[in-house]
Amino acid sequence: MNVTKMTYQEWLDKAEAMFGKSPRDWTFICPVCEQTQSGQDFVDAGLEPKEAANYLGFSCIGRFNPDKGCDYAGGGLFRLNPVHVTGPDGKVHQYMAFADMATVLMNTMDAKVWTEKWLATIQDHPDVPTDDGAMLAWFSTALMTGHDIGARKADKKAEGRHAVLLRAAYDLLTRAERGVFVEEAVAIQTHYDGADCDGYCLRDDIACELGISDDTDPIPLEDSEDEE
């Protein structure tokens, strides 16, 4: 891990230079999941502003909003925050790295954020609105970012569903192994989605997740004569 060391005043000056004076706008990037997160994200997750300030740049937003980020805690066993800030009292506090504006844009579908950056870009480069190439690149990037974020959310949801079904299958097979009597696997009960289900139900849900019909034949074994 590459560590950046600075004083508290240097860190504060950098935050205000990049995002302004309001901590709600300060944006960091998690060292584990690389999710960008601002002070406003913590407030939106239900924390009071003062409480949000204690976690901003220290622990991931996923601890408060499971739909965004991970459960990384800056004060846990693995302390991965790469920015070490020495306070006026001489104590060193570890923070996440600030997220540059390009990283912020690649991780948000917030129209307000994109608009603010667009206006700032025009202010710095007044010729951009008449440059077809620059306009095409900007709006193409905005559209593709929305697509990519949607795809990542769908992948995360699918991963969660896979874990649920795998655990249910594990429980079913374990019950089959430990049972006193030999039972058909499809008749054994397992618990998922808040209910007790049998093997038939589990098989159908797995087939749906795999995108195959529930009467699809099993993949043949290497010694397939036993299945004929």
Average pLDDT, the chain: 84
Helix (H, G, I), strand (E, B) or coil at 135: helix
* Residue 171 or 225, more confident: 171
pLDDT digits (tens, 9 = 90+) for 77-97: 778 899 999 999 999 999 999
Q: Which residues contact 125 (CB under 8 A, 6 or more apart)?
A: 134
Q: For residue 43, what pLDDT is reported? A: 94
* Residue 155 or 207, more confident: 207
Q: 74 is written with which tokens? A: 């800056």
Q: For residue 225, what pLDDT is reported? A: 58
Pairing of strands 4-7, 83-86: parallel
Q: For residue 75, what pLDDT is reported? A: 82
Q: For residue 110, what pLDDT is reported? A: 77
Proportion of the chain above pLDDT 90, given as a percent: 29
CA distances to 18, 111, 128 from 123, in Å: 16, 18, 9
Would you say residue 226 has pLDDT above 60?
A: no
Asked if 94 contacts 84 with a C-beta cutoff of 8 angstroms, the reply is yes
**Separation CA 205–CA 166 (nearest Å):** 11
Residue 167: HSE in the Cβ half-sphere, 13 Å Cα cutoff: 9
Residues present in the chain in total: 228
Residue 110: HSE in the Cβ half-sphere, 13 Å Cα cutoff: 14
- Taking the complete model, does pTM exceed 0.85, yes or no? no
Within 10 Å of residue 209's Cβ, how many Cβ atoms?
13
- Rank 23-27, 118-122, 141-145, 224-228 by mean pLDDT and report only the highest: 23-27
Q: For residue 200, what pLDDT is reported? A: 85
Specify the amino acid at residue 94: Q
Question: Which pLDDT band holds residue 156 (cuts at 50, 70, 90)?
Answer: low
Q: Which residues contact 213 (CB under 8 A, 6 or more apart)?
A: 207
b/e map of 13-48 (b: 16 or more CB within 10 Å)? eebeeebeeebbbbbbbbbbeebbbbbbbbbebebe
pLDDT digits (tens, 9 = 90+) for 200-220: 888 888 888 888 787 888 878
Helices (H), the chain: 8-19, 39-44, 49-55, 101-106, 111-124, 132-178, 199-210
Written as one string, the DSSP assignment of 56-79 is: TTTS-GGGT-TTSS----TTSSS-
Specify the amino acid at residue 104: V
**Separation CA 58–CA 39 (nearest Å):** 11
Question: Which pLDDT band holds residue 124 (cuts at 50, 70, 90)?
Answer: confident
